[in-house]
Amino acid sequence: MLNRQRPRTFTYGQCVASIAGCHSETINIWSHLLGACWFTLDAIRSINAFINSPSPGGIVVIIYLAAFASCFWCSTMYHVLASHAQASFWQQVDHVGILIAIWASVMAFVLFSFEDQRGAQWTYVFLVTFAAILCAFRLTDLQGRHIRQRQSRIALHIVFGGLAVIPSLHSWFQYRGPARPNELLYPFWILVAINSMGGGIYAVRIFNKTGNRMGIPDVSHNIMHVFVVAGAFQYGQSLLRIYQTRILEA
């Protein structure tokens, strides 16, 4: 049943109605939708807590959670509308959501890790934000499902992700040895490692043949999504823990 392809359509209503069906996009839709709901609820809870006890760290946590909620909602919309004639547009929305998630992950790290170095902090904020904007504009030239466009989009995310690691390398070099450790450094590197493994599995589609034999199409994409959710969850929990510790110590 999961191998059944949805018919091409010009009607958004038919795409939305297909959420309840069983077809090749079912797993992708529901995995992204559940992730979107989870991070949306987390963001709402954090906003309520921030209203009762406002602080700069609370804003950072909210931005991170809201960004990942947006990322998963963008992915959900794409997979719901993947059978629509305008699917290439929604594919662009999906990839913009990925850029937002990478950007927010780095912003949280920079704002928490360079609090006592405003110059470095705002330099990284500007550079990473500028790079994200450039990548978003570049995506407009990479529409379509041809293998060349797909490879270019993957390369773009790899380059942006590589740039995003630079602040963590700066922090690691700065706090080596007996210096005060950066509490967020290892959770950030775990996030990078998990996403890199998931992205690698998706890029080479290593499990797709096995998945197709089992009647589960595009299984490498599904595995990647599990990695992304796991990485985002552990990093978000680390952010919350560090934020709550700082509140208690204040």
Domain boundaries, the chain: 24-249
Task: Mark residue 179 as left, alpha or beta (left: phi above 0; alpha: psi -120 to 50; beta: remaining).
Answer: beta
Return the top range by mean pLDDT from 89-93, 153-157, 194-198: 194-198
CA distance 155 to 114: 29
pLDDT tier at 14, thresholds 50, 70, 90: confident
Please check if 79 is assigned to a binding site: yes
Residue 10 class from Cβ within 10 Å (0-12 exposed, 13-18 middle, 19+ buried)? exposed
Residue bearing tokens 């773009």: 156
Q: State residue 190's pLDDT score.
A: 95
Give the Cα separation of 131 and 25 in Å (integer).
32
Q: Is 32 annotated as a binding residue?
A: no
- Taking only the tens place, the pLDDT of each residue in 33-50 is 888 999 999 999 989 988
Q: Per CATH, is 24-249 categorized as 1.20.1070?
A: yes
Amino acid at 243: Y
Mean pLDDT over the full length of the chain: 84
Q: What is the pLDDT of residue 180?
A: 59
User: Do the beta carbons of residue 231 and residue 72 sit within 8 Å?
Assistant: no
Q: 225 a known binding residue?
A: yes
Q: What is the pLDDT of residues 43-69, one digit of tens each?
A: 999 899 888 878 888 899 999 999 999
- Percentage above 70 pLDDT, the chain: 86
How far is residue 146's CA from residue 173's CA, in Å, rounded to a whole number? 41
Residue 98 to residue 116: CA distance in whole angstroms: 29
**Residue 143: both structure tokens together:** 């529409």
Q: What is this structure's pTM?
A: 0.87
Angle, vertex CA 114, rays to CA 60 and CA 194, nearest 5? 65
φ/ψ of residue 149, rounded to 5? -65, -40
